[in-house]
């Protein structure tokens, strides 16, 4: 995008420079010659005036003219030729060479005055002025290039940012982007993306809550039904026992189908996940948030051993951890600790600080939308949980005071190939 904008702008500047620079150069070249001839004509008129005054008392004889006085009106390197009928020409000045620049005016009866200047002098002036015009054209092109570069960057960077924002939204990153670019059209697109992100986050949360409630209710009812059918299998009537066993088998099959459907839903949510070393991903998050912590007079400590491989979507886990760090900056105190470790059947990412923690009455609702202990919107933790759950993980408040949030992620095999689907297992509860 930036290259195309830059190329198109430079092309317009180049065409403009050629269209205007060519005629301007030719016009300047001719103007220099016109100005030179005009100056020669002015000098001849001054000479003619002095000759009129001199010859009036000298009976028209050029031999009595004060030639030194006339030399003052001759340009440097020029030559004056006085021609009068019936008299030899009078020449004042050196030889100007072949093809001189000359101007002639009539003087007296049948006479004339010619002022000549070397042709090289005219050419030197024309070349100098033309070079100045060419330099101005080059400067205009350079200025256009600078303006084109700045304009391309000012347009391309916001467009790239909006495109990245849309890509993150498609990847399940529902966090709003507060930065704006000062371009009304792009800012309007950013506002629409933020609105869409909020609506999608609410939709996804409602869908997951509904799926969770439905699965819980179905499991409860199936369990109760299986217990009843298990009791019926002890009935003394053989036919009743057969029917109870058949019904119990169908109930077990229905429970297996429910498990498969839930497993398929979790796998679909994590379809864009990749095999990632948590040390690399969390180091990027730490580098991103350290300037904000330094500005607040605080620090960040990173404790992530090498070799922790998780099957995650990089954008989701980065934004989820970033939301937890941002929450620690806004509501916590002291050093923020970002750590990761391996546990049984899962990987744990922990974000903690030395603040006062979460009030007791807010602990059950800390991940609810709109719930906040300060003036924030209360969306960060809810979106962080949605992002983690989208990759088949789980986000919990593992300690209220001082606060510690823990992300549970399924363990990925070290020999798994990136891009190859892995079985999705539910983190331990």
pLDDT in tens, the chain (429 residues): 667 777 777 788 788 878 877 888 888 888 888 888 888 888 888 877 777 766 655 455 555 566 666 777 777 778 888 887 777 787 887 888 788 888 888 877 777 888 888 888 888 888 888 888 888 888 888 888 888 788 777 777 777 778 887 877 776 666 667 777 777 887 888 888 888 877 777 777 677 677 767 777 888 888 888 888 888 888 888 888 888 888 888 888 888 888 777 776 666 665 566 788 899 999 999 998 999 999 999 999 999 998 898 888 887 888 889 989 999 998 899 999 999 999 888 899 999 999 988 888 888 888 887 666 555 556 778 878 878 887 778 899 999 999 999 999 987 754 444 444 444 444 444
* Phi, then psi, of 179 in degrees rounded to 5: -70, 145
Per-residue pLDDT tens for 110-122? Answer: 778 888 888 888 8
Q: What gap in Å lies between CA 428 and CA 336, rounded to an integer?
A: 26
pLDDT of res. 429: 40
Q: What gap in Å lies between CA 397 and CA 378, rounded to an integer?
A: 15
Q: What gap in Å lies between CA 80 and CA 114, rounded to an integer?
A: 6
Q: What gap in Å lies between CA 284 and CA 322, rounded to an integer?
A: 10
pLDDT of res. 60: 53
pTM for this model (two decimals): 0.48
Is-contact 320 395, C-beta < 8 A? Answer: yes
pLDDT of res. 64: 59
- Within 13 Å, how many C-alpha atoms sit on residue 9's CB side? 21
Q: What gap in Å lies between CA 364 and CA 67, rounded to an integer?
A: 114
Closest to 28 in 3D by CA, of 139, 142, 125, 116? 125
Closest to 357 in 3D by CA, of 402, 326, 323? 402
**381 contacts: CB under 8 Å, gap ≥ 6:** 323, 324, 327, 366, 367, 395, 405
Per-residue pLDDT tens for 27-75? Answer: 888 888 888 888 888 888 887 777 776 665 545 555 556 666 677 777 7
């Amino acid at each position: 995008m930036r290259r195309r904008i830059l190329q198109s702008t430079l092309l317009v500047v180049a065409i403009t420079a050629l269209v205007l620079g060519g005629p301007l150069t030719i016009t300047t070249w001719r103007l220099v010659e016109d100005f030179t001839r005009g100056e020669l004509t002015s000098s001849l008129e001054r000479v003619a005036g002095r000759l009129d005054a001199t010859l009036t008392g000298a009976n028209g004889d050029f031999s009595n003219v004060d030639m030194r006085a006339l030399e003052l009106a001759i340009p440097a390197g020029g030559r004056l030729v006085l021609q009068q009928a019936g008299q030899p020409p009078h020449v004042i000045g050196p030889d100007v060479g072949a093809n001189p620049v000359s101007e002639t005016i009539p003087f007296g009866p049948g006479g004339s005055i010619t002022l000549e200047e070397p042709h090289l002098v005219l050419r030197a002036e024309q070349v100098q002025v033309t070079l100045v015009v060419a330099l101005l054209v080059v400067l205009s092109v350079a200025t256009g290039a600078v303006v084109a570069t700045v304009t391309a960057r000012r347009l391309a960077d916001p467009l790239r940012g909006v495109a990245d924002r849309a890509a993150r939204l498609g990847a399940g990153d529902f966090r709003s982007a507060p930065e704006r670019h000062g371009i009304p059209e792009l800012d309007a697109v950013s506002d629409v993306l933020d609105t869409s992100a909020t609506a999608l986050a609410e939709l996804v949360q409602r869908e997951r809550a509904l799926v969770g409630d439905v699965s819980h209710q179905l499991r409860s009812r199936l369990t109760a039904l299986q217990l009843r059918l298990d009791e019926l299998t002890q009935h003394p009537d053989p036919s009743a026992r057969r029917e109870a066993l058949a019904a119990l088998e169908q109930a077990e099959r229905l429970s297996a189908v429910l498990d498969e459907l839930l497993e398929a839903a979790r796998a679909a949510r994590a379809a864009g996940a990749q095999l990632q070393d948590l040390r690399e991903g969390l180091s990027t998050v730490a580098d991103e948030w350290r300037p904000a912590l330094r500005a607040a007079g605080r620090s960040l400590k990173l404790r992530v051993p090498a070799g922790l491989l998780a099957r995650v979507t990089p954008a989701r886990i980065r934004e989820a951890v970033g939301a937890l760090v941002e929450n620690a900056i806004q509501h916590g105190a002291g050093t923020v600790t970002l750590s990761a470790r391996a546990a049984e059947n899962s990987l744990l990412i922990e974000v903690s600080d030395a603040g006062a923690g979460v009030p007791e009455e807010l602990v059950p609702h800390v991940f609810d939308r709109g719930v906040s202990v300060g003036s924030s919107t209360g969306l960060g933790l809810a979106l962080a949980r949605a992002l983690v759950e989208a990759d088949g993980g789980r986000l919990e408040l593992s300690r209220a005071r001082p606060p510690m949030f823990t992300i549970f992620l399924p363990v990925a095999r070290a020999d798994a190939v990136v891009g190859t689907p892995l079985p999705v297992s539910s983190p331990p509860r």
